[in-house]
Amino acid sequence: MYGEVTAALHTSMTQLLAMRRPSFFLGGANGNRPATTTPAERLAATAKILRYRKVIWDYALALAETATPIYASDGWEAPRRLLHWLQKDQPTAAALPGGRGVNTAELASVQDTRLSEAWRLAAVAAMAGRERELPNVADRIRLDGARVLMRDAADLTWALISLDARYFPLPGWQRLSTKSKWQDAYSTKAPHLVDSALSAAQLCSSWAAGVSAADAAAVDRLGYRAPTALMPVPYPFGFDGAIAAQHNLFVRLGAEFPSADSLTAVVRAQRVVSALAARAASDVGADDQATRFGRRAENYQTLLAMLMGRVAGPLGRGRSAVDDAQAAQTAMEDAVGTGERASDDQLAWLRRLFMMTDAYVAARTRQGIEQRRYFVWNEFTLSGVDLGGMKRAVRKYEPIDGRNHPNLYAAVKALAPAGESARLVDGGPQRDEFTRIVETAGELDRARRYGARPTPAMAPGIAGRDPRPILS
């Protein structure tokens, strides 16, 4: 998921910002400590870091390109400035040491020093985000979600420029651009113009800082999800077969969008399965499970009444999901009809699969409503075809909203299990913490350069913490 990539990048970049003497962490001499690596080894490590940095910069650029609306103008000046500077200051592979970018071996091999390893892990996360997550996020975000991506791009750019100003003593180090000098990054003068990638990143980070934690968490849940394997067919007899078919139904609903007819058929079968599961649980004395399954059957009965005869939509498929739902119903009917007694494990599996299926049915229904794939009719109208001087009455379908079909929203809300929500990977508070870390890292470097003594109050998350334990 996108949130996992963001969390991995934040972890690696936080470690890098805490390592304030990069030459020492590459094995260079520091005070009374002699060097532990040769100049050639430090030069080779610097070359790898430069290639890793390009991968991260390219990911920040891809974030900005994905999030910036093509036709947006008013209110989106800050993201457009950041996008401009990311494109202008983008490192080229030909200018890197060796005239090439990073290769697979450098991304897959654990590095000798913890500094290089932190850069490698950040580059791996950035590569996964650009190649795997962003293609699955691009067509699913709205403007609030785009602000989340812009904040991530801005903070990542800000962190890279801060590290660039700190790494310039390394042998063979290449600066990002002439505008990202040490003096620009740590000057005591307040900037008045957005004339560099640093100032554009700072401005864009402030612009996007007002995103709510709920919007950030919603974006974090997007992205690539590994497909779940299907259970083999034919299904076993009885409750085991119902569990296997219910599992495959859950997988099918996650893999393809069901048409309105397919969704109605799935809901109809799930109502019967829930009622039979409640009966099976009652037969073995599992009253709590029986009550829960009975309530689920009532919820599906309500949803079925909202869908039957009134909701239609040709878009979507779902034939395989319907087959699995009917197979689960048949297996459950066979189990209850023959008097098979359900075990505690089987009831627990049914409960878990029911909760997962309910979440997908509710999500698919909301998707059909929001994307206008499902329609509802409340009145008749005359057809546009004149047959023998007469026009017949036809149903008038219109997109579903809270006015023309309010009970459907209530039915979907009741179907989703209480407390059922996707895992919050990063969210808003963690982004606020990373922004503070990036900002205060620059404050600490500025204080070191101009002779001020940093205090813990200046740097929440970094100040007062020795970076050396990270590497020990």
The tens digit of pLDDT for each residue in 2-52 reads 888 998 999 999 999 998 888 888 888 877 888 888 889 989 999 999 999
- Residue 186 has a pLDDT of 47
- Residue 353 has a pLDDT of 93
d(CA 400, CA 405): 6
Q: Answer yes or no: is pLDDT of 199 > 60.
A: yes
State which amino acid sits at residue 181.
Answer: K
Exposed / middle / buried, residue 213 (Cβ in 10 Å: 0-12, 13-18, 19+): middle
| Among the ranges given (134-138, 139-143, 195-199, 269-273), the one the predictor scored with the smallest mean pLDDT | 139-143
Q: Is-cis flag, bond preceding 234, omega within 30?
A: yes
Q: Answer yes or no: is pLDDT of 451 > 60.
A: no
The tens digit of pLDDT for each residue in 285-324 reads 999 999 999 999 999 999 998 888 778 777 778 889 999 9
Which two three-digit tokens encode residue 212? 């709510």
d(CA 98, CA 50): 11
- Residue 298 has a pLDDT of 93
The whole-model pTM stands at 0.60
Sheet with 311-312: strands ordered across? 311-312, 375-382, 393-399
Q: Answer yes or no: is pLDDT of 421 > 80.
A: no
Our measurement of the distance from residue 246's CA atom to the centroid of its chain's CA atoms, rounded to an integer in Å, reads 26
- Residue 403 has a pLDDT of 67
d(CA 464, CA 163): 19
The secondary element (H helix, E strand) that includes residue 378 is strand 375-382
d(CA 18, CA 272): 58
- Res. 470 pLDDT band, cuts 50 70 90: very low
3-state secondary structure of 395: strand
More confident residue, 188 or 48: 48
Other Cβ atoms within 10 Å of 140 Cβ, number: 12
- Residue 418 has a pLDDT of 39
- Residue 331 has a pLDDT of 94
Which two three-digit tokens encode residue 378? 């409340």
Q: 30 has which bridge partners?
A: 33
Q: Answer yes or no: is pLDDT of 450 > 70.
A: no
- Residue 194 has a pLDDT of 61
What average pLDDT is seen over the chain? 81
185 within 8 A of 450, measured Cβ to Cβ: no
The tens digit of pLDDT for each residue in 228-260 reads 778 888 889 999 999 999 999 998 888 788 888
131 within 8 A of 60, measured Cβ to Cβ: no
Which two three-digit tokens encode residue 329? 């119903």
Q: Answer yes or no: is pLDDT of 122 > 90.
A: yes
**How is the chain split into domains, by residue range?**
2-221+425-471, 239-415
Q: For 340-384, where are the alpha helices, taking DSSP H only?
A: 344-370
- Residue 112 has a pLDDT of 87
d(CA 45, CA 39): 10
Our measurement of the distance from residue 212's CA atom to the centroid of its chain's CA atoms, rounded to an integer in Å, reads 15
The tens digit of pLDDT for each residue in 148-182 reads 999 999 999 999 998 998 898 888 999 987 454 44
95 within 8 A of 121, measured Cβ to Cβ: no
The tens digit of pLDDT for each residue in 353-393 reads 999 899 889 888 888 887 778 888 766 665 566 666 666 66
d(CA 82, CA 350): 50
Exposed / middle / buried, residue 199 (Cβ in 10 Å: 0-12, 13-18, 19+): buried
List the one residue out of 119, 87, 93 whose CA is nearest residue 106: 119
3-state secondary structure of 30: strand
